[in-house]
Amino acid sequence: MSKCRNLFITTALAGCIGAVPALAETLGLGRLALPEEIAAWDVAVMPDGRGLPPGSGNVYDGEDLWIDNCAVCHGDFGEGAGAWPPIVGGRGTLTAARPLKTVESYWPYLSTVWDYVNRSMPFGAAQTLEVDEVYAIVAYIAYSAGLVDDDFELNHENFTETRLPNEAGFYIDDRAVAEFPVFKQEPCMSDCGEPVSIVARATDLNVTPDFPIIRNLYTEDLADAPTDRDAPTQEAMVPQDEPEDEEVQVVATLDPALVAEGEGAWRQCRTCHQIGEGARNGTGPQLNNILNAAVGQVDGFRYSPAFAEAAESGMVWDEATLDAFLENPAGLIPRNRMSFRGVRSADERAALIAYLTSHIR
Amino acid sequence: MTDKPEDALAKPRGASRRDFLRTAALAAGGVALGAGAARAATPDPLITEVQPWASFLGEGVDATPYGMPIHFEDHVVRRNVEWLTADPIASINFTPIHALDGTITPQGCAFERHHSGAIELSKEDYRLMITGLVERPLVFTFGDLLRMPRIQRTFFCECAANSGMEWGGAQLNAVQFTHGMIHNMEYTGVSLRTLLQEAGVKPEGTWVYVEGADASSNGRSIPMEKALDDCMIAFHANGEALRMEHGYPVRLVVPGWEGNLWVKWLRRIGVHDGPMESREETSKYTDLMPDGRARKWTWEMHAKSVITSPSPQMPIGHGPGPMVITGLAWSGRGRIARVDVSLDGGVSWQTARLAGDPGDKALTRFYVDHVWDGQPMYLQSRAMDETGYVQPTKDQLRAIRGVNSIYHNNGIQTWYVNESGEAENVEVS
C-alpha cells in the first residue's frame, strides 16, 4: 500500500517537474530553511544598502563603543595599534611608495564596513554587537574619516548617503587585455640576453626565519651538517633545576579539577594573552606569575594610561583584585584597553584564578 | 653546461638509442670527475656489522593506529613568518614544498590561512544553508551531503599573496616562504551545481556569496558561471576527512582561483543579483596599480612555476656530478603544457621532463636530470600553460603593475647556486 502511494507521489512529482525546468534534477534532499534561520545567517549587506536591518547609532555613542571594543587594536582614533590595521587616514597615498590603505583611503563602500563590523568584529568576540551598536561604530568610523560631523547619526534610511572617497578607484580584472598579449609570446630558448649578474639578494635584508638546511648527503660527512634532529636532543639534555620543585609546591595547594576547569575558561583569554612556558606579550601581556604581582608591571608590555595610573596607585593582583577585574574589567580600572566584557560566573572566575595561579614559578 | 638546450627541446620525453649512448658517455665523465668515489678505503660497518634494526624487533601493528612521518622527517613542517601579521590567529603559514616530491600535498603540512583561527566544528553540528534568489531556501546536514552524487578531483589551492613579499625585490631566502602558500589535494565531495539545483536558482540570481562558519565568517562573491562550472563542496582530501585547519567538515573548492575564495567551514551560499563587495573582496584581494586605482575580481591564478630543489633550504650537498633539479608548475587556466629551465639566469633554456600527465588546475612536477660541473648557476623555471600563456619575469610584471599590488606575483624565481652548492634567493639584471 505505502509502496504504491510512494510510487504515485513520485509520478505526480515527475509530472510537476516536467513543467518547471528548475526542478528537473532535484534529489529532494535537505529541508526548507525557516524564516528565523534565514534571518540569523543571511545578514550580508550590499553596497546599495540591501540587507541592512532597521536601526541607528550616532558618533557620540560610537566613540564609547569604539574605545571599549575596537581601540585596543585599531587605536583610539582609528590610527592603528602595533601591527593591527589602521582604519582611517592615508588619503592621497595610493600612488606613494608606501600606500596606506584604510576605510578612508581605499575601501569603496560603507556597506562593507557595516557588514564586516557586524559579522567579524571585534576580533575574538565576533557577532556580539547589537545592531544599533554597529551603526554607532560605523558612524564613528565615518566621523574619524572626516566624512560626517560629530552630531551625525547613521541609520538604515540615510545609510547610502555616506559615500567613501575611493568608490571609483576600482576596475574589473583586465589582465586578459593588458597582459596576455605581452605574455603569450613564443618563449626564447637561446641567446635570450647578456650574461646576468646579481642585483639584489634576500640575505641582505636578513628577515627570513631560521630553518634547517637539508643536505641530503647520506655519507659520513653528514656529521658536519647540523640537522633538525640535533636540536631537540640537546634541549632535552639541559638539566632541569629547582624551580620545577617550587612549581610543584604551589600547584599542590590547588584543586586540580578547578585548574582544569580554569584551563577551559582560559579559551576566552588566549586570543590576547599567553601563559606557561615561553609565554610572550601579544595583544595583552603574558600572564605568568600574575598572582600577587604589582599591576601593570609585565616586562616589555605597553600599558594604557589607565593601567599605568592603577600601577602608580600600588594596586596588586591578589585574588580579590583579580576577581573584581575578571568580573568587570572596566569597573575596576576604567578606560583600560582590555576589550573584554568580563566573566559573570563567580565559579568560572575562581577557576580562572586557579588556572592563573597554576602558572607560578 | 653539459646539456645543450636545443637537444632537450627536440627530445623533451622518452629516449632514443643515441640519447642512451650519450647518457652513458656522461656517466663515464662523472667517474672521471671523481664524483663517483668508486672505491672505498675501508669496509662500511653499516654493511659489515649487524645493525640493531637487523637483529632486534621493531614496532608492532598496534603501536601506531594513526601514524606520523618517521622522526627523521621532523623538519618537514609548516613554518610561519612572525613579522608578517599581528597575530598567529589571523595569519598564514607555509608548505615545506622544498622537502616534498610528487604533486599531492599531505594535509598535515599543507599551508593554513585563518582569519579567526581554525575552529572545531563537528559533522553533527554542521549545517549548510542556501538562501537568496532561489526557489527553495534549503538547509542541509552533513548526512544530506553524503547522499548526493559524489565527485573526485585534484586541484591546487594557492593564496593570491603567494610570493607577495617579493614584489619589491628578493626578500625571503627560502622557497617555503617565497612559494609555500600552495597545496594540491585530491578532493572528494559534491558539485556546487548539484546543491544549487536542489534549491533552484532564479533567473535573476547571477552571483553566489559563500560564507564560513568561523568567527571571521569570511565571505566572497563568485559569479554564477563559475559556481555552476567546476566548484566543489569538499569533505575529503587525499582520501581522508579534511583536517580541522583545512575546513573540517566541509570546505569550498574553487579550482584555479585564489585561495581566499575556498571558504572553509562553509555554512551559507547566498544567491544574489550582484557581488556583495565584502571586506575580503574590496579592502583585500584587490590589486593596487601604479596609477592609484586597483584591479578587482582578479580571481584567476596565472601560470607559475618554481624550482623546489636545489633551493636555499635544499643546497647541493654532493659536489659536481649527476643531480636532480626539480620543481612545481601550475596554472589556474588549465593544464601545464611545458616547463623550461635555465641554468644561466634566462640566457638559455632547456625543456624539463614533466612527471606524469599534467592535470587541469593541478600541480605538475618537473625534473631536469643534470650533471653539474661545479660552476655557479642561476636557476630559473618558466611555465607555459595550454592557453599559450608563458610565466612572465618579475620585471615584466612590475612594468605593468608596479610593486604595490601585493597579490598575484607569478614572476620567474631565480636561485643563485654557488660553487659549494649553496643556493640563495636573488634577482638578476
**Is B12 inside a domain boundary?**
no
Instruction: Indicate whether B91 and B230 sit together in one domain.
Output: yes
| Per-residue pLDDT at B86 | 86
**Is B39 inside a domain boundary?**
no
Cβ–Cβ contacts within 10 Å for residue B61, how many? 6
Taking one residue from A and the other from B, the number of pairs with CB-CB distance under 8 angstroms is: 289
- Once rounded to an integer, what is the mean pLDDT over residues B72-82? 94
What is the rounded CA–CA span in Å between residue B376 and residue B393? 21
**Is A300 inside a domain boundary?**
yes
**Last residue of a domain, which of A133, A161, A189?**
A161
- Once rounded to an integer, what is the mean pLDDT over residues B396-408? 97
Q: CB distance A31–B138 less than 8 Å? A: yes
- Residue numbers of B between 14 and 53 with CB closer than 8 Å to A: none
Q: Which residues of B touch A201 (CB under 8 A)?
A: 170, 416, 424-426
Q: Which residue has the higher pLDDT, B88 or A106?
A: A106
> For residues B82 and A209, is the Cβ–Cβ distance under 8 A?
yes
- Once rounded to an integer, what is the mean pLDDT over residues A161-182? 97
Instruction: Indicate whether B118 and B220 sit together in one domain.
Output: yes
| Per-residue pLDDT at B17 | 55
Query: At which residue does the C-alpha cell 608492532 appear?
Result: B60
Q: Which residues of B touch A47 (CB under 8 A)?
A: 277
**Is A201 inside a domain boundary?**
no
The answer on pLDDT for B127 being more than 90 is yes
The answer on pLDDT for B368 being more than 80 is yes
**Is B13 inside a domain boundary?**
no
Q: How many separate helices (H) and strands (E) can be counted in chain B?
A: 9, 21
Domain count, chain B: 2
Q: Which domain holds residue A150?
A: 56-161
Residue B188 grid coordinates: 572528494
**Is A225 inside a domain boundary?**
no
AA letter at A36? E
Question: What string of DSSP letters covers A256-321?
Answer: HHHHHHHHHHGGGTTTT---STT---SSS---TT-TTPBTT--TT----HHHHHHHHTT-B--HHH
Sort B59 into a burial class: Cβ within 10 Å, 0-12 / 13-18 / 19+: exposed
Instruction: Indicate whether B90 and B200 sit together in one domain.
Output: yes
What is the rounded CA–CA span in Å between residue A197 and residue B110? 35
| Per-residue pLDDT at A255 | 86
Distance from CA of A14 to the nearest CA of B (A): 15
- Residue numbers of A between 246 and 285 with CB closer than 8 Å to B: 271, 282-283
**Is B126 inside a domain boundary?**
yes
**Is B30 inside a domain boundary?**
no
| Per-residue pLDDT at A267 | 77
What is the rounded CA–CA span in Å between residue B281 and residue A177? 21
Q: How many separate helices (H) and strands (E) can be counted in chain A?
A: 16, 5
CA angle B178, B182, B186 (to 5 degrees): 160
Q: Which residues of A touch B147 (CB under 8 A)?
A: 27, 29
Residue B192 grid coordinates: 556546487
Q: Which residue has the higher pLDDT, A101 or A297?
A: A101
Residue B26 grid coordinates: 656522461
Which residues 6+ apart lie within 8 Å of A93 measured at CB?
A: A99, A100, A105
Question: What string of DSSP letters covers B202-256?
Answer: -TT--EEEEEESSTT--EEEEEHHHHTTT-EEEEEETTEEPPGGGTTT-EEE-TT
Distance from CA of A26 to the nearest CA of B (A): 5
> pLDDT tens digits, residue range A114-128?
999 999 999 989 999
Q: Which residues of B touch A283 (CB under 8 A)?
A: 86-87
| Per-residue pLDDT at A2 | 43
Instruction: Indicate whether B247 and B349 sit together in one domain.
Output: no
CATH number at residue B258: 3.90.420.10
**Is B309 inside a domain boundary?**
yes
- Residue numbers of A between 107 and 146 with CB closer than 8 Å to B: 107-109, 111-112, 115-116, 119-120, 123-124, 126-127
- Once rounded to an integer, what is the mean pLDDT over residues B155-164? 98
**Last residue of a domain, which of A129, A161, A193?**
A161
Which residues 6+ apart lie within 8 Å of A233 measured at CB?
A: none
Instruction: Indicate whether B330 and B248 sit together in one domain.
Output: no
ipTM comes to 0.89
**Is A264 inside a domain boundary?**
yes
Instruction: Indicate whether B272 and B314 sit together in one domain.
Output: no
Instruction: Indicate whether B263 and B386 sit together in one domain.
Output: no
Which residues 6+ apart lie within 8 Å of A64 measured at CB?
A: none
Peptide bond into B249 cis (omega under 30): yes
Q: Which domain holds residue B83?
A: 72-295
Instruction: Give, as one character, the DSSP assignment of residue A129.
Output: S
Instruction: Indicate whether B120 and B164 sit together in one domain.
Output: yes
What is the rounded CA–CA span in Å between residue A359 and residue A243? 12
Residue B226 grid coordinates: 563559475
CA–CA distance from B127 to each of A31, A256, B95, B144, B241 (Å)? 11, 37, 30, 10, 17
What is the rounded CA–CA span in Å between residue B167 and residue B51? 52
- Once rounded to an integer, what is the mean pLDDT over residues A27-54? 96
Average pLDDT taken over every residue of chain A: 84
Q: CB distance A229–B86 less than 8 Å? A: no
- Once rounded to an integer, what is the mean pLDDT over residues B76-92? 91
Instruction: Indicate whether A341 and A251 sit together in one domain.
Output: yes
What is the rounded CA–CA span in Å between residue A351 and residue A266? 9
**Which pLDDT band, with edges at 50, 70 and 90, does A305 fall under?**
confident
Instruction: Indicate whether B279 and B332 sit together in one domain.
Output: no
Instruction: Indicate whether B241 and B325 sit together in one domain.
Output: no
Minimal-distance CA residue of chain B relative to A199: B428
Instruction: For residue A211, give the nearest of B202, B218, B313 by CB distance.
Output: B313
Ranges A15-19, A225-229, A276-280, A321-325, most confident? A321-325
CB contact, 8 Å: A106 with chain B? Answer: yes
**Last residue of a domain, which of B295, B315, B350?**
B295
Instruction: Indicate whether B335 and B396 sit together in one domain.
Output: yes
CATH number at residue B377: 2.60.40.650
Sort A336 into a burial class: Cβ within 10 Å, 0-12 / 13-18 / 19+: buried
Closest CA to A316 of A346, A339, A286, A295: A295
Distance from CA of A49 to the nearest CA of B (A): 10
Pairing label, strands B350-351, B377-385: unpaired
| Per-residue pLDDT at A218 | 65
Q: Which residues of B touch A33 (CB under 8 A)?
A: 129-131, 137-139
> For residues B187 and A18, is the Cβ–Cβ distance under 8 A?
no
**Is B67 inside a domain boundary?**
no
Q: Which of A309-313, B132-136, B200-204, B386-390 has the lowest mean pLDDT?
A: A309-313
The answer on pLDDT for B46 being more than 70 is yes
**Is B34 inside a domain boundary?**
no
**Last residue of a domain, which of A106, A127, A161?**
A161
Instruction: Indicate whether B137 and B270 sit together in one domain.
Output: yes
In degrees and rounded to multiples of 5, residue A67 shows phi and psi of -60, -40
Sort B355 into a burial class: Cβ within 10 Å, 0-12 / 13-18 / 19+: middle
**Last residue of a domain, which of B295, B318, B337?**
B295
CATH number at residue A104: 1.10.760.10
Minimal-distance CA residue of chain B relative to A103: B283
> pLDDT tens digits, residue range A181-235?
999 999 999 999 999 999 999 999 999 998 888 887 665 443 344 444 333 333 3
Domain count, chain A: 2
**Last residue of a domain, which of B295, B319, B342?**
B295
Closest CA to B151 of B183, B186, B120: B186
Q: CB distance B378–A196 less than 8 Å? A: yes
- Residue numbers of A between 217 and 246 with CB closer than 8 Å to B: 217, 225, 227-229, 232
**Is A41 inside a domain boundary?**
no
pTM for the whole thing? 0.79
Minimal-distance CA residue of chain A relative to B348: A190
Q: CB distance B90–A197 less than 8 Å? A: no
Q: Which residue has the higher pLDDT, A8 or B424?
A: B424
Q: Is A233 helix (H, G, I), strand (E, B) or coil?
A: helix
Q: Which residues of B touch A202 (CB under 8 A)?
A: 170-173, 312, 424-426
Q: What is the share, in percent, of chain B residues with pLDDT greater than 70? A: 91
